[in-house]
Amino acid sequence: MRLQRFLARAGAASRRGSENLMTAGRVRVNGYVVTELGSKVDPLIDVVTVDGIVYTLTQKSVFLMLNKPAGFLTTMKDPRNRPCVASLVPTDQHPGLFPVGRLDKDTTGLLLFTTDGQAAQNMLHPSKHVTKHYIALVEGIVLDEDLEPLRRGILLDDGPCAPAQCELVDKNSRQAMSVVGRKYHAQHLEYKASTVVCLAIHEGRKHQVKRMLEAIDHPVIRLHRQSFGPLSLGNLKQGSWRLLTDQELASLTKMGIQQ
């Protein structure tokens, strides 16, 4: 295996970053500095170090979250070359990463990625009841009582939805910021009636939140996912990703999602 590929797979840096580590003379194979980019290593035999730290190929599953911006498709490859989430996560370091479920192209927020197919399947399985919190900017003025059909469980064209927790959100609150940007506010909200709503659901049907809100006659203008089960974005900036913390991984283990 090429040394720069080994380094990227072992998590030392991205592929390009690994090349830089090599040309900077920071990489040793069996004690010898290797700067030549075409050099090969045998991952089972050779001892590779960066600044004296040994790197190996681990088989451990990777879990990370992305704060997805609008305008990106939830796919790792698009035949039409449209922007997709693959370009926002470190596939060089972690080959085999894929998104757990989907967010629509125009939806922002928490998208989980893993290399662990079983964990992904568990997370999406209805029996696990993984709750997702969404915040939506919707057209029109919504009153609390207008949300009752969603709380009871609204009927959509592909069947009834489970009862959803939902509440109105103050447009000026911190929580509303993800869907009410200042620029957006200035451009649109001054003259167009709109409301911010928070919804928690544990199902994951196609366009479900948009269809639920459309069904009560308040089409979604903007949609953002704040949390996915025990995971939430915290201060993660839009377009950025981070590995899950040990604590977050432990919470997934506790739910029987990963081992």
237 within 8 A of 110, measured Cβ to Cβ: no
Minimum separation from the CB atom of position 212 to ligand URA (A): 8
Number of alpha carbons in the 13 Å side-chain half-sphere of residue 140: 11
Cβ atoms of 62 and 39 closer than 8 Å: no
Q: Count the residues of the shown chain that bind ligand URA, applying the rule CB under 6 A.
A: 8
178 binding ligand URA? (CB under 6 A): no
Q: Among 3, 13, 21, 103, which residue sits at the site for ligand URA (rule: CB under 6 A)?
A: 103
Q: How far is the CB of 209 from ligand URA (least distance, A)?
A: 3
Question: With the C-alpha atoms ordered 6, 68, 151, 231, is the resulting torsion angle positive or negative?
Answer: positive
What is the identity of the amino acid at 242? R
HEC assignment per residue over 156-176: ECCEECCCCEEEEECCCCCHH
The question of whether 104 is a catalytic residue gets the answer: yes
Q: Which residues contact 49 (CB under 8 A, 6 or more apart)?
A: 27, 28, 55
Give the contact letters, 188-227, x = binds to ligand URA (CB under 6 A), - = no. Answer: -------------------xxxx------------x----
| Nearest distance, CB of residue 182 and ligand URA, angstroms | 23
Kindly state whether residue 107 participates in binding ligand URA, applying the rule CB under 6 A.
yes
Please report how close the Cβ of residue 217 comes to ligand URA at its closest, in angstroms: 16
Confirm or reject binding of residue 128 to ligand URA (CB under 6 A): no
- Tokens linked to 257: 């999602």
Nearer to ligand URA, 12 or 136 (CB): 136
Phi then psi for 12, rounded to 5 degrees? -70, -40
Catalytic residue among 46, 92, 104, 106: 104
The site for ligand URA (CB under 6 A) is made up of 103-104, 107, 207-210, 223
Give the residue numbers marked as catalytic.
Answer: 104
